[in-house]
Amino acid sequence: MEEKKLDFEKSLKRLDEIVSKIETETLPLEESLKLYEEGRKLIASLEDALKEAEQKIKELQK
């Protein structure tokens, strides 16, 4: 479980870095697209992790 938390935290931090970079820097289109794609993948992964955690909480509440 600790590894999943670490992965979640790393993914969240990386997503924050990507957003910051896209918002504050003038990047070539290709690099912007790569970062955007990486960000979308991270968002999907983070959403999955949150859904899994929510499901576990619901099971524990039963």
What are the chain's domains? 2-61 (1.10.287)
C-alpha span between 57 and 49 (Å, rounded): 12
**Continuous segment of H or E residues that includes residue 27:** none
Which 3 state secondary structure label does DSSP give 26? Answer: coil
pLDDT score for 50: 95
What is the pLDDT, as a whole number, of residue 5?
67
pLDDT tier for residue 62 given thresholds of 50, 70 and 90: confident
4-57 pLDDT, tens digit each: 667 999 999 999 999 999 999 999 999 999 999 999 999 999 999 999 999 999
pLDDT given for residue 12 in this prediction: 96
Say how far apart CA 12 and CA 30 lie, in whole Å. 23
User: Given this model, what pLDDT does residue 2 score?
Assistant: 62
Tokens encoding 39: 């960000």
* Cα–Cα dist 59/52, whole Å: 11
